[in-house]
Structure 1
Amino acid sequence: MHRRNVLAMAATGAVGGIATSYGGVRRTDDHNAILGSEGLVVFTYDDSPIEDYTLTYQVHQEYDVPGCVAACPGWMEDDTDFLDPDQLAEMDEDGWGVLSHTYRHRALGYVNLNQTAAEGDERVYVDVHRHGDIAEDPLAIFDEENRVSATVAGQGTDSGGDYIELEEPLDGTVDSSGVVRHPAAFIRDRLEKTDERLESWGFDVTGFVYPYGRYHGVAEEIVREHYGAVANHRYGGGHNELPGQDPTAMRRRYIETDRADEDEIDAFMQTAAAEDVLAIVGGHSQYDTLTEDRIRYTIEAALERDLAIVTIEEALEALGPRIG
């Protein structure tokens, strides 16, 4: 059923068999109607798993409201656990937004070394696994004075902690205060490849979501070069104050059951209605902690407070000079 039909049903008090009493603004292309609501909320879902189609999309359809998929096209074209382009095309045609989440969910920011990376080492020990899961990826390992290039062979964990296995021994030493990330040129190349593939499938890429929330350092500069909007620039919050909000530095709030309870979601939506903010929420539909009930509860919490649920692109267009 198309959203317009659901909207008509909502006016009579029943959507998908569920009694409703919302006065809230639902999905609409009328920017005056959007701005006439108590505020705006954007729903984002990461990684483009198949559950974005079989779960989140189905629930959103019941309420005639869109969401945004942060897509990893490399996973989409290789793995049946993820959306295929036709499924995402159906969602896009029905008003959903498409965001970049890198080609294969690569972390763009750095991670810290947890011990010195010495010349001749074949493993680099880090505080968390983020850069070692794709063999042959290039790495930059550096501190304030030294910089070494390396190539990923794999990753693992031993008594020393998490490590990245290298194809060749290091040809220099980097102090334990150093960090590991992908080289800037590689980051740019991966973002360009991501956009090219999504655009080749007919999608407009309208923003970006950092994998793992890793936004540090040069990654921020490169992402700003490529995208006009970022949903998770830094951790926490989810209320992006207006006017003058930098759309490449927006934050979001996770709605998964291990990240927020119902009272916290209610409080989040109440603040979004009471204050001059753009609210963004996020989740991973492949996780057991993002249930149908939780998605439904969060949507209803927004609509009960007369919040318009829109895509990032719609929010930025409707807000115009008040943002950016």
Structure 2
Amino acid sequence: MSHESTRRRFIGIAGTGAIGLTAGCTDALTGRENGSNDDESDDDDGSDEDGVTEDGDESDDVPSLDGGAVAFVYDDGPIEDYEVAFPVHQEFDAPATAGIVSEWIGREDFNDNDWMDVDHLEELADAGWEICSHTTDHTALAAFELVEDVDPDDIRIYPEQRNHGFHHEYDIEVTDGEATVQRTVVDSGHDDVGGYLEFDEPVGESFLAGETVERYPEELMHEFLGASKEELEGLGFEVDTLLAPYDVVDGRTVDIAGEYYDGISNVNPDSMVNDRHEFDPFETNRAYFAENTTREAVREGLDRVAEEEAVGVLGAHTFKEEVTEERIREVLEWVEERDLEVVTFRDAIRAT
């Protein structure tokens, strides 16, 4: 799939697969403008002699990315963000971005883990961390193509990935661009055919594999994205960016998310390197630095960031056993050795 100008791409039915996972994009201009870099530059930057802009922001707060920079973006909001990652980042006076699932805040022994509460998040924010949205309930935002035909009497569909089966009682839209059916997910699993979603009633229409996708209806997408931002801001946090659950994003996701956020930190999960001079916050590359990688790959990526004076975006799930204080410290040492600035994802956007 081509990734150029996803922010301005309208995804029709052929283009609803997840970026990096599903092929078949149809490109056309949406006309939606970039919400993060719309200000026109001229000789008057709108600031007074003290560097304070008309809206009260201090221009000095935006870091320089000359020489390259790295943003750490942590997933989900587990207590390990506070207990494991935060102390190490404090050693290096290095901020990070925490992707928070708004409905998980303060929950204990949920999904085999404990989750940071508001007091933890406030301490992170006071230390310069960014609090970003990771949706209301950690729902996959992309559409997934069906890999088996559907008959009207079927109550099961078989998508290429079963991410939407992790949350029951949400409505799912099955569409081929001409016919659209909405049903409620009540179960999911694997059978002799493959991974399936099971509905509360038969689909009622015929659909062909390869020409049909299943996805959340638009009103639910707005709930997952808009309500999360609203809830986090209601707790007193500035929320400007999104971390997409499961690293799956498609053009429809980008289009809707752009109504609420200035960027998505993990649109392309295969590389950490982002060109600083052509940085598109809705095309962000992010790579894990402990899980699903090697130390050699991380060092090579940081070398590229330094050589190209780029923006590197790194991620981790701190509840995973590979993500230890020692591993985080090691990576921050590598960053320091390369004289790279550590910034939040929000500030990476603001500075480019």
Q: Deviations over 1:90-115 (max 9, x none)?
A: 11111101111111110010122121
Pick aligned residue for 2:336 from 303, 306, 312: 303
Contact 1:148–1:173 (CA under 8 A) maintained in structure 2: no
Residue type of the partner of 1:128?
A: Q
Pick aligned residue for 1:38 from 63, 67, 85: 67
Instruction: Say what the alpha-carbon RMSD is for the aligned residues.
Output: 1.9
Aligned residues: 290
2:86 equivalent to 1:57: yes
2:292 equivalent to 1:276: no
**Given the superposition, is the C-alpha separation of residues 194 and 267 from structure 1 closer, same or farther in structure 2, using an over 3 Å criterion?**
same
Q: TM-score by structure 2 length?
A: 0.78
2:318 equivalent to 1:289: no
Q: How does 1:52-201 map to 2 (within 5 A)?
A: 52-80=81-109, 81-177=114-210, 178-201=212-235
Residue type of the partner of 1:70?
A: G
**Given the superposition, is the C-alpha separation of residues 233 and 36 from structure 1 closer, same or farther in structure 2, using an over 3 Å criterion?**
closer
**Given the superposition, is the C-alpha separation of residues 238 and 181 from structure 1 closer, same or farther in structure 2, using an over 3 Å criterion?**
same
Q: TM-score by structure 1 length?
A: 0.84
What residue is the counterpart of 1:20 in the other structure? none
**Shift, 1:65, TM fit:** 0.7
Separation in 2 of the partners of 1:268 and 1:62?
23
Contact 1:155–1:163 (CA under 8 A) maintained in structure 2: yes
Separation in 1 of the partners of 2:61 and 2:230?
34
Which of structure 1's runs of 4+ aligned residues deviate more than 3 A? Answer: 29-34, 77-80
Separation in 2 of the partners of 1:192 and 1:36?
30
Separation in 1 of the partners of 2:61 and 2:116?
33
Q: Deviations over 1:109-162 (max 9, x none)?
A: 012212112212111122222002222201111224332211111211111111
Separation in 1 of the partners of 2:200 and 2:145?
20
Separation in 1 of the partners of 2:226 and 2:64?
34
- Structure 2 counterpart SS, 1:295: helix
Pick aligned residue for 1:211 from 237, 245, 250: 245
What residue is the counterpart of 1:202 in the other structure? 236
**Shift, 1:33, TM fit:** 9.8
Q: Where do 5+ consecutive residues of structure 2 fail to align?
A: 1-57
Separation in 1 of the partners of 2:341 and 2:240?
19
Separation in 1 of the partners of 2:230 and 2:59?
30
Separation in 2 of the partners of 1:32 and 1:136?
44
**Shift, 1:37, TM fit:** 5.5
Contact 1:123–1:163 (CA under 8 A) maintained in structure 2: yes
Contact 1:147–1:174 (CA under 8 A) maintained in structure 2: no
Residue type of the partner of 1:35?
A: S
2:262 equivalent to 1:228: yes
Q: Does 233-242 or 201-210 show the bigger shift?
A: 233-242
Q: Deviations over 1:140-186 (max 9, x none)?
A: 11224332211111211111111111111112122111211101121
Contact 2:70–2:340 (CA under 8 A) maintained in structure 1: yes
Identity rate, percent: 31
Q: Deviations over 1:229-287 (max 9, x none)?
A: 2111123122111313222221111112432x222222211211111311111111111
Q: Where do 5+ consecutive residues of structure 1 fail to align?
A: 1-28
Q: How does 1:242-253 map to 2 (within 5 A)?
A: 242-253=276-287
Residue type of the partner of 2:279?
A: Q
